[in-house]
């Protein structure tokens, strides 16, 4: 159990995506512990997605990591029926403002409605990092 926890908490360091974008490292480290961080600008006060070194909203480089609520609403969704296995692709608008592309898990396409409340659930990507997916709240 403890070995699995340790493995999960450091697996992101071997992930090629995380390695290619070192500015996202703190995000993946927190995600491995089930915490959802958002890059937030201390000049304009807004959070953005995905994590960057410069605020895409005002150009400032004064950014900090903030713990996000993990809550959001379903903005749009589509079933990827021909994928193996099939999955539900979605855009979720976070309580803090940003909209991110993600997957909806533990739900059927027929049960989804625009505007539904969703909550983050981290699931492992094949490469090792924990990805923020969402489930109906």
CB closer to Zn ion out of 43 and 111:
43
Phi, psi of 2 (to 5 degrees): -65, -35
CB of 59 to Zn ion, least distance (A): 7
Which residues in the 38-77 window bind Zn ion by CB under 5 A? 41, 43-44, 55, 57-58, 60
Handedness of CA 11, 67, 45, 71 (dihedral sign): positive
CB closer to Zn ion out of 58 and 80:
58
CB of 58 to Zn ion, least distance (A): 3
- The Cα 30–Cα 132 span in angstroms is 11
State how far the alpha carbon of 1 is from the alpha carbons of 4, 5, 9, 34, 89, in Å: 5, 6, 12, 16, 32
Q: How many residues bind Zn ion (CB under 5 A)?
A: 7
CB closer to Zn ion out of 58 and 137:
58
Which residues in the 75-134 window bind Zn ion by CB under 5 A? none
CB of 64 to Zn ion, least distance (A): 11
Residues 137, 118: contact at Cβ < 8 Å? yes
CB closer to Zn ion out of 55 and 104:
55
Closest CA to 100 of 50, 27, 30, 52: 50
Interface residues with Zn ion (CB under 5 A) are 41, 43-44, 55, 57-58, 60
């Amino acid at each position: 159990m403890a070995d699995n926890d340790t493995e999960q908490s450091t697996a992101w360091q071997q992930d090629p995506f995380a390695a290619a974008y070192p500015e996202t490292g703190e995000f993946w480290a927190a995600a491995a512990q089930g915490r959802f961080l958002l890059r937030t600008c201390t000049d304009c006060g807004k959070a953005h997605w995905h994590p960057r070194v410069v605020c895409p909203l005002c150009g400032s480089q004064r950014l900090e990591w903030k713990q996000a609520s993990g809550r959001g609403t379903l903005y749009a969704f589509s079933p990827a029926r021909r994928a193996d296995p099939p999955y539900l692709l979605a855009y979720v608008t976070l309580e803090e403002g940003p909209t991110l592309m993600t997957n909806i898990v533990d739900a059927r396409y027929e049960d989804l409605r625009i505007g539904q409340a969703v909550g983050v659930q981290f699931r492992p990507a094949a490469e090792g990092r924990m990805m923020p997916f969402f489930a109906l709240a």
